[in-house]
Amino acid sequence: MSINDVPFGQSWQDWIDAVDLGADFYDGDGDGIYNPVDLNSNEVWDPDEEKPNTLLDKTYWCVFNDGIPSGQRRWQ
């Protein structure tokens, strides 16, 4: 994911999987659900819309299994 990716494009859609595993995102409508849709169809991101949480030029996300039993894990 790069800050140069097309708004609402494939990388923004792929970020849904990362969010499901606990990745952060900008929640434009405040509902707590990542839904990267161009609400007004202007093909640019607006503050009331969702986007991946890109802090730098690129953002990476990965998951590690630390051997904790499934019942004690933070995210199921």
Structure tokens given for 51:
């986007």
Using CA atoms, how far residue 2 sits from 5, 11, 15, 58, 68, in Å, is 5, 8, 11, 4, 32
Q: Where are the beta strands (DSSP E) in 3-73?
A: 25-26, 51-52
Q: How confident is the model at residue 33 (pLDDT cuts 50, 70, 90)?
A: very high
Q: How confident is the model at residue 74 (pLDDT cuts 50, 70, 90)?
A: confident
Quote the pTM value: 0.73
Strand bridging mode 25-26 / 51-52: antiparallel
